[in-house]
Structure 1
Amino acid sequence: MLSLQEMSDRLEIQDLLTRYTHAIDTRDWDALDDIFTPDAVIDYSETGGARGGVAQIKRWLAVAMARFPFFQHMVAAPKLELDGDSARCRSILFNPMLHRAEDGTEQLFFVGLWYRDRLVRTESGWRIAERHEEMGYAHNAPPMSPIPTLAETDR
């Protein structure tokens, strides 16, 4: 039987994962400050993105996601391993995205991946200390120009 603390931790972590998806889908990059620890490492490199700290990733996302007029990040089935004030989580992401090419044509495609996270309990609640995107698949992905690098968005 789960303890009240474990039930609370699981619900708080589920809420944290949900807040992440809403922050990304509404392009509220500053909301990521309340989702990640200040020293978090975010690694989207396996899926073609950047790897860096929260401030760097926020700047990068604002540029990298501009080519997509619509997307949804649907996180499901988090597998949690709680250990006191820390946790490991692997969750599924299903991500339909609409790409707009430079000529204005649009194409819907789908990405499936996993988030591998290390979480910590802070004075402000649970936060993600490390996030790694693990690529699963892409379906119907259009040809796209390269995603900007961190260096290109840090200028």
Structure 2
Amino acid sequence: MSLQEVSDRLEIQDLLARYSFAIDERDWDALDRVFTSDATIDYSETGGAKGDFAQIKAWLPQALARFPMYQHMVATTRLDLAGDTATSRTILFNPMVYRDEKPGDDRPGDEKPGDQVFFIGLWYRDCFVRTADGWRIADRYEEMAYSHNVPAMSPPPEIAAAPAAA
């Protein structure tokens, strides 16, 4: 492996970790340093939305509000580099806590009666591009693998329509 390939692989692994931390810390603006501005993101196979980066960035805080806790744990990545582009398939294990909010459910503490822990296993299928600011995700697709103990819940909010071109 050349030093460039080693560097590219490490930078892309760091990018995957930065995505996980941005989501888990609800730092939505950090996603600006993970995705290209024209990225497409498709979470539809796992029950989420599909749209461009701006739409998904606006949608995520609303869609994830009912989950007080979650962790995105990325693992094994198969990465294929091709100069200034790359593709990958990465394992994700995603434990989540669902909170079914009821009126008057204002008890103190992080965990409340009725919270339900569940698990989702999936793969991220990503296309990356090298930019002047480093590697970025240009296209992300979540591919479902399995789920366990998923509670009955209402569907996530609809994605906002893209603004009309002027």
RMSD: 1.2
Distance 1:128 1:39 in 2: 10
For residues 59-110 of structure 1, the C-alpha deviation after alignment (integer angstroms, 9 at most, x for no partner) is: 1101000000000000011100000000001000000000001335200000
**2:115 paired with 1:116:** no
Q: Which moved more, 1:103-112 or 1:28-37?
A: 103-112
- Please say if residues 128 and 138 of structure 2, whose CA atoms lie closer than 8 Å, have aligned partners that are also in contact: yes
Q: Which has the larger radius of gyration?
A: 2
Structure 1, unmatched stretches of 5+, are none
**4+ residue runs over 2 A deviation:** none
Distance 1:111 1:49 in 2: 13
> Which residue of 2 is the match for residue 3 of structure 1?
2
**2:28 paired with 1:29:** yes
Distance 2:71 2:8 in 1: 25
> Which residue of 1 is the match for residue 136 of structure 2?
127
AA matched with 1:114: W
Distance 1:151 1:130 in 2: 19
TM-score normalised by the chain length of structure 2: 0.89
AA matched with 2:22: A
- SS of 1:66's partner is coil
**2:62 paired with 1:53:** no
Distance 2:101 2:144 in 1: 26
Number of residues paired by the alignment? Answer: 152
For residues 96-153 of structure 1, the C-alpha deviation after alignment (integer angstroms, 9 at most, x for no partner) is: 000001335200000000000000000000000000000011100010011111038x
Residues 4-19 of structure 1: pairs in structure 2 closer than 5 A: 4-19=3-18
> Which residue of 2 is the match for residue 43 of structure 1?
42
For residues 36-75 of structure 1, the C-alpha deviation after alignment (integer angstroms, 9 at most, x for no partner) is: 0010001001111111111111111010000000000000
- Please say if residues 32 and 54 of structure 1, whose CA atoms lie closer than 8 Å, have aligned partners that are also in contact: no
TM-score normalised by the chain length of structure 1: 0.95
